[in-house]
Amino acid sequence: MQPEQTRTGGAAAPAHAPTHNPTAEGDDAPETTGDAPAILSSAGAWVRAHQTAALIGSFAVGVFLGVLLRRS
């Protein structure tokens, strides 16, 4: 009996094959993609372009968190 073929031509893994689980091997740090500098740069550019909206939004978040923390 021939093993099942995948689209790339290689043999497919059996249905009972274990999957890779990094936490099972003690690697509890999440895998990062290295996109953080690009995301921060993009966010900084948006804030510079929309200063009023950023100020109002940050003030609203601060008020919301203040009320949330005061009630607890």
pTM above 0.85, yes or no: no
SS (H, E, C) 2-35: CCCECCCCCECCCCCCCCCCHHHHCCCCCCCCCC
Six-digit token pair at 25? 């091997």
Predicted confidence (pLDDT) per residue in 6-45, tens digit:
555 555 555 665 565 555 555 555 556 678 999 999 999 9
